[in-house]
Amino acid sequence: MTTAPSDLPPPLLVDRIVGFVGTGIMGASMAGHLLDAGCVLNVHNRTRSKAEGLVARGATWHDSPEGVAASSDVVITMLGYPVDVERVYLGGEGGDGIVAASRPGALLIDMTTSSPSLAARIASAATAGGRTALDAPVSGGDVGARSATLVVMCGGDEAGFTRAVPLLRRLGRSVTRLGAAGAGQRCKLANQVAVAVGMVAWCEALSHARAGGLDPAAVQQVIAGGAAGSWALTTLAPRALAGDFAPGFLVKHLVKDIAIALETARETGIDLPGLETAARLYEAVVTRGWQDEGTQALARLYPGW
Amino acid sequence: MTTAPSDLPPPLLVDRIVGFVGTGIMGASMAGHLLDAGCVLNVHNRTRSKAEGLVARGATWHDSPEGVAASSDVVITMLGYPVDVERVYLGGEGGDGIVAASRPGALLIDMTTSSPSLAARIASAATAGGRTALDAPVSGGDVGARSATLVVMCGGDEAGFTRAVPLLRRLGRSVTRLGAAGAGQRCKLANQVAVAVGMVAWCEALSHARAGGLDPAAVQQVIAGGAAGSWALTTLAPRALAGDFAPGFLVKHLVKDIAIALETARETGIDLPGLETAARLYEAVVTRGWQDEGTQALARLYPGW
């Protein structure tokens, strides 16, 4: 493990010509911090309108990820699904992908939550072409992206990591390398395993209380500070208790992450019965049509919510 | 919900002649705080030696729970299992039980984690006999008992609760009434549901990381501060990672609590698939002979621990 010290100011930028592909809710905030830090920014997004705020602040629009890559020393991607990551990096749909299109010596950083094996494939392809690719998924959501307090979990070449730190420290309060290519994704998946099963924990606890005739909001207040306590019980349970199922983090994105985590678990030969239960429950959430709600919508599977 | 204000000093004691039945690890610390507060203390414990420290400090030993009850205005019990609670309160094994043996007008407070329906039966029997019985289980464990920082969850008559608060505030940092008799037990069970399923969450997260070749201690450090965070991930996971499975809270006691929670869930007609999974996993922990370890021994079911 290598952690960039977070009690010091971020190191000075060396790479200043930065491309950003994927300027959705999180990506737009993150790219904005790089503009603030003095980067020359090249941007592309599937839906152009979501990049317009950055363009108005001086970023240069490109019609393709490859156009961004050809003009940048470092390319950061923040996409939706592994299939998007594969297409943007390795090509398809008319593009050759940014591994091929980037400048020799370029540093490519994928911050999407994606598959460890895909991250390893991209890193190999990058190395073979004289580029460096890192996987660097984050936790902290839209709020963390906005306030530059993300937790960044990196995998890949150590020299590449060292080169990436000055940029990544503009986006996150903690930047850690966990190992070789894919290790960042594996750490993020471990995070999502704890998130998914932890959601079941508070949903069932408060549902048990409610079914027994107690006021679940009173129970939440009593138990949140003790051994039953969790970030989710403190932060998400009150939203669900107030009938607020608006997304901080979307059900369908957690479902994607759970699927990758289960696949990775199978590849490494480990049984995770708790995660399998969480997967079945979140599948039921999707079946009811709540895939675009926040992950706290899990509570709606239980009576009374 | 009625919460005794915890930012003020505890109210003055009115009832000073207090009985304490069950002076094990937690009970002995709790009874000691009542001696510190100036109570006249009557004590009984199945194993007499565990009460000797209190007797040396001035408590009076009695050979039976009934003897304690006959000499006290308030009786507090801190026992092992619901079967012990039933025997001590309602009789059996040669005793008539403390409901019958206590003084008319006595206040009886059971702080054992036990069954809501048993708590309701005891409260009814007490009321019929001109006594008042509360259920007041706690969270915080041996550490909370020692430092008088327990969280006390009460059920029962409101006037009885008001009468109990000056004593209970000597034992806990928070004292809350959740409703009628049994409501304290229901709140504690909700707490245990979150505890049990939450243990599965971090065990599977760190096991996923380990199986993927990461250092699980590094992953714990990276993810504990974010959306995956919980008291257990911060407090118990490092013990398990260090190979320390010594009990803060015993596996066999959590298994008891899970069984009561599942039974209560069935009575109230609610399905808790996550808790059922946790129950199966903890049964496997017992099958391997680890029932006297701490609850973090759950991790030992997964490879590499």
Same domain, A257 and A154: no
Q: Is A211 on the interface with B (CB under 8 A)?
A: yes
- Determine whether the interchain pair A227/B226 forms a contact, defined as Cβ–Cβ distance below 8 Å: no
Tell me which of A91-95, B73-77, B271-275, B300-304 is least confident.
A91-95
Chain A, 265 to 304: residues with Cβ < 8 Å from chain B are 265, 268-270, 272-278, 280-281, 302-303
**Cα A215 versus chain centre, distance:** 35
pLDDT band at B304 (very low <50, low <70, confident <90, very high): very high
B186 part of contact set with chain A, CB < 8 Å: yes
Mean pLDDT, chain B, integer: 96
A216/A160 same-domain check: no
Task: Tell me how crowded residue B195 is: count the other CB atoms within 10 A of its CB.
Answer: 27
Residue B180: its pLDDT value, please?
98
Query: Based on the structure, what is the number of domains in chain A?
Result: 2
> Is B50 in the same domain as B173?
yes
CATH, residue B40:
3.40.50.720
**Residue A121 tokens, joined:** 């494939």
Residue where one domain finishes, among candidates B126, B161, B180: B180
Residues of chain A in contact with residue B211, where contact means CB-CB under 8 angstroms, are 265, 268-270
| Residue A44 and residue A72 in contact, taking contact as beta carbons nearer than 8 Å | no
Interface mutation vs chain A, best among B230, B263, B267, most A CBs within 10 Å: B230
Chain B residues within 8 A of A196 when measuring between CB atoms: 201
**Ramachandran region of residue A262, left (φ > 0), alpha (ψ -120 to 50) or beta?**
alpha
Is there a single domain that holds both residue B223 and residue B255?
yes
pLDDT value for B7:
72
The CATH number of residue B201's host domain is 1.10.1040.10
Contact B205 A194 (CB under 8 A): yes
Interval B212-241 mean pLDDT: 97
pLDDT in tens, B142-153: 889 999 999 999
Q: Are A297 and A269 in contact (CB under 8 A)?
A: no
Alpha-carbon distance of B56 to B54, in angstroms, equals 5
- Candidates A195, A153, A193; CA nearest to A172 is A153
Interchain pair A270, B192: CB under 8 A: no
Nearest-CA distance A78 → chain B (Å): 19
B236 with B296: CB under 8 angstroms? yes
Interchain CB contact of B223 with A (< 8 Å): yes
Contact between A207 and A74 (Cβ < 8 Å) = no
| A230–chain B Cβ distance below 8 A for any pair | yes
pTM score, two decimals? 0.94
Residue B3 pLDDT level (bands cut at 50, 70, 90): confident
Choosing from B129, B162, B180, the residue where a domain stops is: B180
Domain identity same for A71 and A147: yes
A195–B contact, CB cutoff 8 A: yes
Q: Do A274 and B204 touch (CB under 8 A)?
A: yes
Which B residues 16-45 touch A at CB under 8 Å? none
The answer on B202 and B170 residing in a single domain is: no
B281/A274 CB distance under 8 A: yes
pLDDT in tens, B195-212: 999 999 999 999 999 999
* pLDDT value, residue A5: 67
Task: Looking at the structure, tell me whether residues A98 and A225 fall in a common domain.
Answer: no
Same domain, A195 and A82: no
**DSSP letters of A74-135?**
EEEE--SSHHHHHHHHH-BTTB--HHHHSPTT-EEEE-S---HHHHHHHHHHHHHTT-EEEE
Residue B5 confidence class, pLDDT cut points 50, 70, 90? low
Q: Which of B154, B180, B206 is the last residue of a domain?
A: B180
pLDDT value for B288: 98
User: Same domain, yes or no, for B294 and B221?
Assistant: yes
- Which among B212, B270, B281 is the nearest to A116, CB-wise? B212
Digits of tens for pLDDT over chain A (305 positions)? 677 767 777 888 888 999 999 999 899 999 999 999 999 999 999 999 999 999 999 999 999 999 999 999 999 999 999 999 999 999 987 789 999 999 999 999 999 999 999 999 999 999 999 999 999 999 998 889 999 999 999 999 999 999 999 999 999 999 999 999 999 999 999 999 999 999 999 999 999 999 999 999 999 999 999 999 999 999 999 999 999 999 989 999 999 999 999 999 999 999 999 999 999 999 999 999 999 999 999 999 999 99
Q: Any chain B CB within 8 A of the CB of A208?
A: yes
B43 vs B77: CA distance, rounded Å: 10
Q: Are B21 and B42 in contact, with CB atoms under 8 Å apart?
A: no
Q: Is B188 a catalytic residue?
A: yes
Number of A/B CB contacts below 8 angstroms equals 267
What burial class does residue A286 get, using C-beta atoms within 10 Å of its C-beta: 0-12 exposed, 13-18 middle, 19+ buried? middle
Does A79 lie in the same domain as A153? Answer: yes
The residue range of the domain holding B273 is: 187-301
Look-up of token digits 């049984």: A271
pLDDT at residue B151, rounded to an integer: 96
